[in-house]
Amino acid sequence: MRIFLLCSLILLSGTTIVQAQTGTVKGIVKDSLTGAVLESATISIFKKDSSLINYQLSDGYGGFSLSKIPLGADIILNVSYVGFKPFFKTIKLDSAIYTADIVLSPSFDDSLNVTVTAQMPIRMNGDTLEINPAAFKMDPNAVVEDLLTQVPGVTVWSDGTITMNGRKIPSVLVDGKPFMGSGDARMATQNLSKDAVEKIQVYQEVDRTLKPEERKQQDSLLTMNIKLKEDKKKGYFGKMAVGYGTTQRFEGDLSFQMYNKRTSFGIGGGYNNINKNIDNLNEMFQNNTYRNYNPNLRNVGNFNTEGINRYHSIGGVFTHNFIETTNSRQNDRITANYTKSGNDRYLTNRSLQNRTTLDNPQFVEDNTVTNMVNDNHNFGVNYIKTNSYDDNFTINGNAGINNSNSDTRRVTDIRDTTNNLVSTNNVLSAEQRRSGNQSLSANYSKYNYDNPTAQFNVNLNVNNNNSESDRYVKSVFNSFVDDSRDTTYNRNYNNTASNLNIGANLGYNGLRRLLFGRFNFFGIDLSLDQRINYAKSNREDRVSDYDSIQNVYVRNTRLTNNNINEKTEYSPTLRLGKSFYKWSDKYYRNVYMYVNFTEDFKQDNNSSSFAVRNLNRSFSFFRYDGYLSYNYNKREKFSYYLGLNYNKNFDYASVDQLYTITDDLDRFNVRIGNPDLKNRVNHSYNFSARFNSQKPKAKYAFNGGLNAGYMHTLNPVTDSLINDPSGERTYYYVNAKESQSYNLSYNLNIVRTLKKSNIQLMYNGSYNNSRNPNYIDNIFSETSTAGFNNNINLQLALRSIVIFNLGKTFNTYQTDQSGAGLRSFKNSSDITRLGLTVNLPKDYTISSTVDHTKNTNIDKPIILWNAFASCRILKNQQGELKFSAMDILKQFQNISNTADKYGTTTRITNGLQQYFMLTFAYYPRKFGKAEIKKREIKQVW
């Protein structure tokens, strides 16, 4: 931690040194005709080669002051204002302050309605902030994200998030629509050429996910719309890459997307054995963007993935807009996608477990080797139609097929405190599994102020999935404490399962009008939600044991069973909500509250081949929840939000908990049911707070949030655990009186802008603690499990030339037992991450990452050092050669810690080891009719 702080201080002081030998240009802009000062005139300073050094809008009194201008160099001072002739002059700063009062002449005869367009970098057009890309002199290959890093007030965070004056921009659109049908802003900002963009607009938009009565000013979404030039509304871009390295490592990536005004299509895929997961099409597109500013150093071989995986995937996504509009109120769009993916995994796992047992701690060493092959097909379709913010119709359909085969060999040794072996368990298993799922959901909502009784929202969901599996298991358990505990099984499990779920939710928002007519019930909104759900699961487990005498599998009647479970639920909910608000020219604030009253009617029927499980039950629960929020927004200063939520609900025990079918094949996890389990009652309380600065001209911008939750459960289902001296474990379901858990999570992000450079500090952390009563070896114990996680990342970006990342993650887990004689455990990990990218002029990039991991369960820290060198080649920088050196120190081990109420576990798995790889990538890119060309830039005045 000290090293981390030291590095931070060095970096911060370094940025100060960089700013030496500069001066300030200041003055006032006036109208030559009237002498009036001109507000929002654009003052820009360029180098002789026309590259932009700095710019500013004049203030309300025409004044401007541009600091950090290089001394002694010839620079061009340009002032522009709509309707006036632009002013430009070559100047040289000889002293720290250069004063220039600029007089602009009108460039039009008003009666002739002539308008002169000047290159203003940013301007306000009504309530919309407009950014003009043409005013920013940048590399011809720059993408939108590169441009945004140069816009005052806009911060592109290291994770791709965009904020404006401290406020997050959750919605980034291209011509009013999600680009390529994706909600991921990076798809647009990291691919679209800056030269293809006419302007970028930032404005507030209604959050259509909220009901009208919930839509307050502070809930509106800050939206960024990238408006493409008319001749650039058609284009394509992508990446094709192949790489081969030592130890037979290889990778191949494909991403290709094309679009026009209404339609877009993208294909993506990949094949690698470097643990780079590529089964998500959107992630693939995102990982293969043409980014410059913040190279994705983590989209490489993933050393933290367990095992060696050979991944493959291929897929496509098609989007079509049936209407051609550039506003986001109106949508009529279909998106379809298909992905075929899979992997071939080889995993070795060594787990070391400390077990909590009475006066007799046990240490478990588990060695597992798994070979697994799986193959997936996924298809999805989405349709959305909206005409305004008050109506919404969407359909989502998804279908998938999964096939997998796996072979596992597992050897478990259990030792006592004197390191004597108390038992061993050797397990061989082979499984074939095939599953399929289909889902369909449809939503329709309609709000109408003129006809309040016709306001409703309908949601329908249908899910169906089925699976078949065939598993052969040979298990030999030997006890060195008690021979009578020895068991040998050769068992076959043939399972089929199908689940159908049909749910509907009908929300009626016209209840107040319907009940009271024009009487507004003191401003309290009333709505009635009705949820209906039907679920049917059909499971058939056929279990057979091998008869070595007859050489046949014989049906195991104790375990073979059929079970059909049908759940029918009906839950009407009455909601009462009310809001108060107050505003002035300086602030806006509001309070919103609601309470929900719900009656749950539940019918749970079970039909089983075991008579005891033929259980039909009916439940009726009355539950309620409430919410209170407060928002305060001080214009151009800050805003914050406070929210409080309370919820009470009920759970009942499933038939599998009441009448568990006990399979004792796994000697370490034998489950026994309990027919006397009571219903659980949960009381949960949640508090959340958010804060962000919103000073347009501030050098610092920051935002933060805090979430806290507390849950109190009455009659929780917990375990009574019996540890056998041989290491066998038997769990009995029991009720406890109560359990509690609480959690706290928080984050803080700060950015300091230094002209074209910035420093970002992102911090997030969480603390959670649960107190669960249980019995361990008949001793009552309250287990307190605590986890404390902290993650901090500092990024320094110096004019996009040097990007330095320093991150630290610190996690601790602790389990305390209140029961006498039971052991408590604690472990922790401490990871320090360094990343450095240097974009050397021209087109060369070198970068490196170092991960330093300390863990209480390993003797020496592990260092993972990767380094990369790449150069952009070919015409228009469309090719890239990259050399990767991974795990240079050859000492990486994949180690992870987990903790639960019965002990802590350290897992050591196989994974990637040192390799070197050479990768060639080609980026096909074309926006509009003309190929993106590396052309000479001529300054347009």
Partner 1 sequence: MRTFTFLAIALQFICIAAWCQPTKIYLSPKAAGSANQSMFIDSVRFYPLEKSNGADISRYSGLYITDQYFIVVNYQDGNLIVYDRNGRLVKQVAYKKKGADSYPRYDKAKQQLNFIFTNKLYSLTEKDRIEIQTDFANKKNKKYYKKYIIDLNDSTFTMKKATVTAFDILDAYNLKDDLYCTYRVHVSDRYKDTTDYEVKIYKNDQFVKGYFPYNKNHESKYLYAPYIGAHTQESGKPDTFYITRPYLDTIYSLSNDIITPAYQIVLPMENSLPKSFFETPFKNKTERENFERNNGWMLRQIYTVFESGRYMFITIGFLSNYGQYIYDKKTTSSYNLSKTKADSITYNLPIISDDPGNRFNNKYYRVINAETLKKAYELKDKSIPFPKELEACFKDSKNPTPVIVEYTIKTY
Q: Looking at beta carbons only, is 16 or 449 nearer to partner 1?
A: 449
We find the least distance from the C-beta atom of residue 385 to partner 1, in angstroms, to be 12
Sequence letter at residue 349: N
Given a contact cutoff of 8 angstroms between Cβ atoms, the answer to whether 40 and 104 are in contact is no
Q: Looking at beta carbons only, is 326 or 439 nearer to partner 1?
A: 326
Residue 114 engages partner 1 in binding (rule: CB under 8 A)? yes
We find the least distance from the C-beta atom of residue 98 to partner 1, in angstroms, to be 24
Interacting positions 797-856 with partner 1 (CB under 8 A) = none
Residue 230 engages partner 1 in binding (rule: CB under 8 A)? no
Q: Give the range of 414-422, 447-455, 673-681, 854-862 binding partner 1 by CB under 8 A.
A: 447-455
Distance, in Å, from the CA atom of 864 to the CA atom of 34, rounded to the nearest integer, reads 67
Q: Give the range of 109-117, 146-154, 281-289, 872-880 binding partner 1 by CB under 8 A.
A: 109-117
We find the least distance from the C-beta atom of residue 327 to partner 1, in angstroms, to be 6
Residue 20 engages partner 1 in binding (rule: CB under 8 A)? no
We find the least distance from the C-beta atom of residue 32 to partner 1, in angstroms, to be 11
Distance, in Å, from the CA atom of 511 to the CA atom of 575, rounded to the nearest integer, reads 10
We find the least distance from the C-beta atom of residue 322 to partner 1, in angstroms, to be 15
We find the least distance from the C-beta atom of residue 329 to partner 1, in angstroms, to be 6
Spell out the residues 6+ positions from residue 626 whose beta carbon is closer than 8 angstroms to its own. 593, 594, 595, 596, 645, 646
Distance, in Å, from the CA atom of 138 to the CA atom of 118, rounded to the nearest integer, reads 18
Q: Which of 2, 582, 737, 929 binds partner 1 (CB under 8 A)?
A: 582
User: Per this entry, what is the length of the chain?
Assistant: 941
We find the least distance from the C-beta atom of residue 204 to partner 1, in angstroms, to be 13
We find the least distance from the C-beta atom of residue 207 to partner 1, in angstroms, to be 17
We find the least distance from the C-beta atom of residue 516 to partner 1, in angstroms, to be 9
Q: Which of 49, 230, 585, 936 binds partner 1 (CB under 8 A)?
A: 585
Distance, in Å, from the CA atom of 34 to the CA atom of 719, rounded to the nearest integer, reads 85
Q: CB neighbours (10 Å) of residue 175?
A: 19
Considering only CA atoms, give the Rg of the chain: 32
We find the least distance from the C-beta atom of residue 733 to partner 1, in angstroms, to be 53
Q: CB neighbours (10 Å) of residue 40?
A: 16
Q: Which of 13, 113, 551, 620 binds partner 1 (CB under 8 A)?
A: 113
Interacting positions 519-538 with partner 1 (CB under 8 A) = 519-520, 522-523
Interacting positions 741-760 with partner 1 (CB under 8 A) = none
Given a contact cutoff of 8 angstroms between Cβ atoms, the answer to whether 122 and 130 are in contact is yes
Strands 167-168 and 74-80: unpaired
Q: Which of 11, 82, 401, 497 binds partner 1 (CB under 8 A)?
A: 82
Q: Which of 31, 195, 279, 887 binds partner 1 (CB under 8 A)?
A: 31
| Element containing residue 145 per DSSP (H, E) | helix 144-148
Place of tokens 């008003």: 110
Q: Which of 49, 94, 450, 936 binds partner 1 (CB under 8 A)?
A: 450
Distance, in Å, from the CA atom of 719 to the CA atom of 722, rounded to the nearest integer, reads 9
We find the least distance from the C-beta atom of residue 527 to partner 1, in angstroms, to be 15
Q: Which of 327, 432, 557, 669 binds partner 1 (CB under 8 A)?
A: 327
Q: Give the range of 112-120, 275-283, 534-542, 645-653 binding partner 1 by CB under 8 A.
A: 112-120
Spell out the residues 6+ positions from residue 551 whose beta carbon is closer than 8 angstroms to its own. none
We find the least distance from the C-beta atom of residue 44 to partner 1, in angstroms, to be 20
Tokens representing residue 528 in the block: 């009635």
Residue 514 engages partner 1 in binding (rule: CB under 8 A)? no
We find the least distance from the C-beta atom of residue 250 to partner 1, in angstroms, to be 51
Distance, in Å, from the CA atom of 48 to the CA atom of 75, rounded to the nearest integer, reads 6
Q: Looking at beta carbons only, is 388 or 662 nearer to partner 1?
A: 388
| Element containing residue 7 per DSSP (H, E) | helix 2-18
Residue 33 engages partner 1 in binding (rule: CB under 8 A)? yes
CA-closest candidate to residue 724, choices 355, 350, 354: 355
Q: Looking at beta carbons only, is 397 or 452 nearer to partner 1?
A: 452
Q: Looking at beta carbons only, is 212 or 705 nearer to partner 1?
A: 212
Q: Which of 37, 222, 593, 836 binds partner 1 (CB under 8 A)?
A: 37
Q: CB neighbours (10 Å) of residue 449?
A: 8
Residue 217 engages partner 1 in binding (rule: CB under 8 A)? no
Tokens representing residue 173 in the block: 């659109």
Q: Which of 16, 35, 418, 859 binds partner 1 (CB under 8 A)?
A: 35
Residue 106 engages partner 1 in binding (rule: CB under 8 A)? yes
Q: Which of 83, 160, 380, 643 binds partner 1 (CB under 8 A)?
A: 83
Tokens representing residue 903 in the block: 């002990």
Q: Looking at beta carbons only, is 446 or 623 nearer to partner 1?
A: 446
Query: What b-and-e string marks burial along 67-95, b requiring 16 or more CB atoms within 10 Å of the CB?
Result: ebbeeeeebbbbbbbbbbbbbeeebebee
Number of residues interacting with partner 1: please give it, by CB under 8 A. Answer: 44
In DSSP notation, 565-612 reads EEEEEEEEEEEEEEEEEEE-SSEEEEEEEEEEEEEEEEEEEEEESSGG
Q: Looking at beta carbons only, is 30 or 901 nearer to partner 1?
A: 30
Q: Looking at beta carbons only, is 62 or 235 nearer to partner 1?
A: 62
Q: Looking at beta carbons only, is 58 or 354 nearer to partner 1?
A: 58
The CA-based angle 189-193-194, given to 5 degrees, is 85
Q: Give the range of 32-40, 162-170, 526-534, 735-743 binding partner 1 by CB under 8 A.
A: 32-40
CA-closest candidate to residue 206, choices 171, 181, 245: 171
HEC letters along 678-706:
CCEEEEEEEEEEEEEECCCCCCEEEEEEE
Given a contact cutoff of 8 angstroms between Cβ atoms, the answer to whether 460 and 494 are in contact is no
Task: Give φ, ψ of 284 to 5 degrees.
Answer: -60, -45
Q: Which of 452, 626, 705, 765 binds partner 1 (CB under 8 A)?
A: 452
Q: Looking at beta carbons only, is 40 or 770 nearer to partner 1?
A: 40
Q: Looking at beta carbons only, is 583 or 700 nearer to partner 1?
A: 583
DSSP 133: G
Given a contact cutoff of 8 angstroms between Cβ atoms, the answer to whether 764 and 747 are in contact is yes
Given a contact cutoff of 8 angstroms between Cβ atoms, the answer to whether 691 and 640 are in contact is yes
Task: Give φ, ψ of 657 to 5 degrees.
Answer: -85, -35
Distance, in Å, from the CA atom of 669 to the CA atom of 662, rounded to the nearest integer, reads 10
Tokens representing residue 188 in the block: 């647009």
Q: Looking at beta carbons only, is 523 or 675 nearer to partner 1?
A: 523
Q: Give the range of 105-113, 131-139, 469-477, 925-933 binding partner 1 by CB under 8 A.
A: 105-113
Residue 704 engages partner 1 in binding (rule: CB under 8 A)? no
Q: Give the range of 269-277, 446-454, 723-731, 765-773 binding partner 1 by CB under 8 A.
A: 446-454
Q: Looking at beta carbons only, is 62 or 835 nearer to partner 1?
A: 62
CA atoms within 13 A on the CB side of 687: 7
We find the least distance from the C-beta atom of residue 35 to partner 1, in angstroms, to be 6
Residue 583 engages partner 1 in binding (rule: CB under 8 A)? yes
Given a contact cutoff of 8 angstroms between Cβ atoms, the answer to whether 18 and 70 are in contact is no
Interacting positions 377-406 with partner 1 (CB under 8 A) = 387-388, 390-391
Interacting positions 125-154 with partner 1 (CB under 8 A) = 126
Please give the residue ranges that form the binding site for partner 1 (CB under 8 A). Answer: 31, 33-39, 61-62, 82-83, 106, 108, 110-115, 126, 325-327, 329-330, 387-388, 390-391, 449-452, 513, 518-520, 522-523, 582-585
